Amino acid sequence: MKECRICGRDGTEEDLCEYHSAAYTSLKSVFEKWAAAVEELTWEKYIDSVRELENTGQWIREIIDDIRSQDDS
């Protein structure tokens, strides 16, 4: 079994633990709903906005930071 690339817990085939995998799935699902409603919304704008929200949870923040670090690579 692979380790989560973010926290080192046991991971899935995506290299994410169950918590970060669920956070990523949720993030993408909500983005798809928002993107359907807001025509000019990009993935980058969306994750930047979500990251800055005070009530955004730790696992979502860590997923967003991971996405950003992969984009910088």
Residue by residue, pLDDT tens for the chain (73 residues) are 789 999 999 988 779 999 999 999 999 999 999 999 998 999 999 999 999 999 999 999 999 999 999 877 6
26 and 18 in contact (C-beta within 8 Å)? no
pLDDT of res. 2: 87
Give the per-residue pLDDT at 56: 97
Q: pTM above 0.85?
A: yes
Q: Is 6 exposed, middle or buried (0-12, 13-18, 19+ CB in 10 A)?
A: buried
Rounded Cα distance between 24 and 38, Å, is 20
- What are the backbone angles phi and psi of residue 42, rounded to the nearest 5°? -105, 160
Distance, in Å, from the CA atom of 71 to the CA atom of 38, rounded to the nearest integer, reads: 23
| Distance in Å from the first CA to the final CA of the chain | 25
What pLDDT, on the 0 to 100 scale, is given for residue 73? 63
